A and B are shown apart, each in its own frame.
Chain A
Amino acid sequence: MSRTPGLTVPNRSTEGGYARGGALKGLPGYNFAFLDEVTKRMIRRTLLKAVAIPGHQIPFASREMPLPYGWGTGGIQITASIIGPDDVLKVIDQGADDTTNAVSIRSFFRKTAGVATTTRTGEATVIQTRHRIPEQPLREDQILVYQVPIPEPLRFIEPREEECGKVHAWADYGIMYVKLYEDVARTGRIATTFDYPVVVNGRYVMSPSPIPKFDTPKMHRMPALQLFGAGREKRIYAVPPYTDVKPLDFEDVPFEIERWSRCCALCGATEHYLDEIVTDDVGGRRFVCSDSDACAQRRAKAARDLSGNS
């Protein structure tokens, strides 16, 4: 189960103790899942509106959370507002379950909501993510919560907030193509490799958060509900299940995802998104899956197949 020798990746049975017994358990002196109920209701109302207008950014009264901006304050508020005592939470950071941020946030909800947590994509009902979509396809009964640093896809081309509002209101998105044009003019292809702008439901241009463009096609008609929270910018938006999500591109320079000839050094996968890891100070490097759970599952299956065969 463990990805790196010496580090035990916790699983549901070892982590989920607080939820058993039915009663809402949490940290004494704190409300369930940290946020007060009024705030949660406010955020849920915002979420309903966001789901009703796919891809449209809805302002909300973002609260101070016990972690710094940029660490997922938006995502954590959404998770806190939708999570129930029976939910099973998975948190990934750049695809990995074992990074500080992911571990801390799982721990936060175990303490404050008493919910079960997991690293298994298939077992989770709520997955909070930073910068990745799991390799394993998601289902209708799952919710994917994205942490979003900059919700405004026009930000870098149009700094005026009021003007951005008008561009969205009138779907007057020509300006987005200026950025794509610049990419192609400079590099001969669309060089945006993450946070690739998409059109949701044929209407709003949306930032998918800084996921690699490798993940962008997974958003299209995804069975799971996708929720996006930007804490510092105080914006929430959503992509309902089975909604069209199309990347912007030119007729003669179509959207393409990255391809590479390497495979994961641990599990041998060629169809997963890989991270490059520098292994020494003389230029040695390895490529491994960014999705730690997918990598672990693949290795476990290989091990089972191997033992089953022998």
Chain B
Amino acid sequence: MAFSSESSNQAEWAAKEPVLRAVRLSHFYGQRVGCAGVSLDLWPGEVLGIVGESGSGKSTLLRCLSGWQEPSQGRVQIRREGEVLDLYALEESVRRRLLRTQIGVVFQRAEEGVRMRVSAGGNIGERLMAEGMRHYGRLRESARRWMERVELDPARLDDLPCTYSGGMLQRLQIAKNLVTEPRLLFLDEPTTGLDVSVQARLLDLLRRLVREMNLSVVMVTHDLAVARVLAHRLLVMMGGQVVEEGLMDRVLDDPQHPYTQLLVSSRLVA
């Protein structure tokens, strides 16, 4: 049982480059501030939680980071095989390709991420078809394999998503996004609205996939319990700005900023 067999060395955390970097991101809706001057790094294999009340700017930040909303100011950089790509400086067609091969986004409302009138298999195969897979049998095989991987019954491959429950829809969204094996996953309130037992199993699945695929994840949630289960590191947002940042359990157990303390105490008392 020597440690040496498990290759621990400082290079593991010291020499890594961030997979995602935001530099002074700001986004305004007219006069209203979405997020203001947010800079962050996301490291390989890391789950970064963004917590805050609704209206704190966390969803705006997620949209800017994930390529869905061009920010008013600032840059988003994504590292791919050693090269750094400036997400919003890319030509849109290149960005689209990048988004569907390197990035997955799981929305709170599954209808935003799943085609409700296309079968589960068609949904899962969509990114593969977009990437040029033209073999029906292989598309189906991939879809079936991914259904198993997210613990959906492959017998329901041809069923329409509207026959799926809320928890199943989230699993389908996850499969649909991960089928091209992206390195970055964005989760927007992934378990909100699900009943608690479904939540727990979904979170367990996400944890497993994060580890197995070495995913780097940015997750927005207002639910600190969800953050506790999944996140390695937390950003606390208030009024569009990051007010506290740190190791997940340090932020939750020894919050420093008044707003974080308020957030933590009100959640736990509730």
Mark A residues whose CB is within 8 Å of B. 157, 166, 169-170, 172, 174-175, 177-178, 181-182, 184-186, 250-253
Give min CB distance, B183 to chain A, whole Å. Answer: 20
Give min CB distance, A183 to chain B, whole Å. Answer: 10
CA of A166 to CA of B93, assembled, Å? 8
Q: 16 A-B contacts, Cβ less than 8 Å apart?
A: A166-B92, A170-B93, A172-B93, A174-B127, A174-B129, A178-B125, A181-B122, A181-B129, A181-B136, A185-B121, A185-B122, A185-B140, A186-B158, A250-B139, A251-B135, A253-B136
Give min CB distance, B208 to chain A, whole Å. Answer: 28
Partner of B118, one of A169, A174, A178: A178
B126 adjacent to A178 (CB under 8 Å): yes
Contact partners of A185 in chain B: CB under 8 A: 119, 121-122, 140, 157-158
Q: Mark B105-122, 1 if CB is under 8 A from A, else 0.
A: 000000000010011011
Assess whether B130 is interfacial by the CB under 8 Å rule. Answer: yes
Q: Which residue of A lies closest to B127 (CB)?
A: A174
CA of A17 to CA of B115, assembled, Å? 57
- List CB contacts (< 8 Å) of B155-200 with chain A: 157-158
Give min CB distance, B118 to chain A, whole Å. Answer: 6
CA of A49 to CA of B129, assembled, Å? 31
Q: How many A-B residue pairs have CB under 8 A?
A: 57
Contact partners of B157 in chain A: CB under 8 A: 185
Assess whether B131 is interfacial by the CB under 8 Å rule. Answer: yes
Q: Which residue of B lies closest to A169 (CB)?
A: B93
Interface centre among B127, B139, B140, B158 (most CB of A within 10 A): B139
A182 adjacent to B118 (CB under 8 Å): yes
Give min CB distance, A168 to chain B, whole Å. Answer: 12
Q: Which residue of A lies closest to B157 (CB)?
A: A185
B135 adjacent to A172 (CB under 8 Å): no
Q: Which residue of A lies closest to B91 (CB)?
A: A170
Give min CB distance, A204 to chain B, whole Å. Answer: 15
CA of A194 to CA of B268, assembled, Å? 60
- List CB contacts (< 8 Å) of B127-160 with chain A: 127, 129-132, 134-137, 139-140, 157-158
Give min CB distance, B225 to chain A, whole Å. Answer: 37
Contact partners of B126 in chain A: CB under 8 A: 174-175, 178
Contact partners of A250 in chain B: CB under 8 A: 134-136, 139
A170-B93, A172-B93 are known contacts. Are A181 and B130 too (CB-CB below 8 A)? no
Partner of A184, one of B92, B115, B131, B136: B136
CA of A166 to CA of B96, assembled, Å? 10
A181 adjacent to B132 (CB under 8 Å): no
CA of A174 to CA of B118, assembled, Å? 14
A174 adjacent to B135 (CB under 8 Å): no
B119 adjacent to A174 (CB under 8 Å): no
Give min CB distance, B27 to chain A, whole Å. Answer: 21
B139 adjacent to A174 (CB under 8 Å): no
Interface centre among A175, A185, A250 (most CB of B within 10 A): A185
B122 adjacent to A251 (CB under 8 Å): no
Contact partners of A175 in chain B: CB under 8 A: 126, 129-130
